[in-house]
Amino acid sequence: APAPAPAPTPAPIDSAPVHAPAAEPSYPAVPETVQEDEPAAPAAADVPPPRAPDEQTFFSLLPQPFDDEGIYEGENIRTEAFLNACRGILPVLDVLGPTTFAPVKSDISGNIAKLAARLQADPLQNVTLQNMVRLEMMKRTTKATGSATDALLWLKRALEFICVFLKQVGEVTDESLSGPAGVAYSATLSRYHGWMVRGIFSLAMKSVPYRRDFLAGLGPAAPEIVLADMHRFADALDRVLTTLKTFYLDNKLDDPSVV
C-alpha cells in the first residue's frame, strides 16, 4: 500500500505572541487609618470636657451665640440666626434691673419682632440683614414708618450699649456698676436721646446691681469663669455690630436724629 501523505504544514500565524490570560492586578492593601489628605479626628485629650453644672454661665448656655458659624453668610449676616441671638441676650437686662431696664428690653423686643415679621413675609429676599435693607433701598422706603432699616438701626444701637457695658464690667473692679453703665450709655445711645429719655436712663444707671450680684445673676460659675465667658461673648457681638455699623455708614443710613 502506498505510504500516507505527510500532514500539511500549518499556515504561519501573525507574529504577535499569544499571551496567557492576564493575571488579576495586585493593589496595595487599603490602610485602615485615615488617609493623609483627610483631617484626623482630634484626640480625646484635645476635646474640652463638658462643664459641670456649677461651672455653667448664662453665656455658655446660649442656644445661638453671636460667634456661631451660622451667623454669617459670606460677609453678610443671616437674619434668622441674628434674631435668635438677639432674643437670647434679653435676660441680661432682667439681671440689670427687670423694672428700670424694662423700656430697653421692650424696645429691643419690638425691633426684633419687626425684623422677624419682614423675614417671615419673604424669607428668600430677606435671608440676610443686608439683603433686607438693600431691598428697602431699592424701593426707597428706608425712612418709611416701621421700616426694617430703622428697626435694625435701633436694635444695633441697643446692642452696642449692652456690648460696651459688658466690656466695661470686665475692665473695672469697682463694685458699683453705675460707672460702667454710664460710660456705655454715653458712648452709644445718649447722642440719639432727647432730655426726657436721658432722664429716664439716668435713673436706670443709678439702679444697676452691684458687680458681685450682677455676676452671680449670670450663672453659678465662679466670677472669673463668668467674666471669661462674658469677654468672649462681647467680642463676638462686637464683630457683628462692626459689620452692621460699616454697612450703615457705607450706605449713609446712620440717621443721627434725636428722639
- Helix and strand numbers (H, E) in the chain are 9, 2
The partner residues of 210 in beta bridges, in order of sequence, read 176
pLDDT for the residue numbered 9: 52
Amino acid (1-letter code) at residue 131: N
Looking at the predicted structure, is the pLDDT value of residue 229 above 60? yes
H helices of 98-194, in order, are 102-121, 129-139, 148-171, 178-187
Other beta carbons less than 10 A from residue 170's beta carbon: 13
CB 227 within 8 A of CB 57: no
63: which 3 cell numbers?
A: 442656644
pTM higher than 0.85: no
The crossing angle, in degrees rounded to 10, of helices 79-89 and 223-250 is 140
Please enumerate in sequence order all residues whose Cβ is within 8 A of that of 84, keeping only pairs 6 or more positions apart, or say none.
Answer: 63, 64
pLDDT above 90 as % of the chain: 73
Q: What is the pLDDT of residues 63-74, one digit of tens each?
A: 999 998 899 999
pLDDT tens digit sequence for 11-51 = 444 444 444 444 444 434 434 444 445 555 544 445 567 88
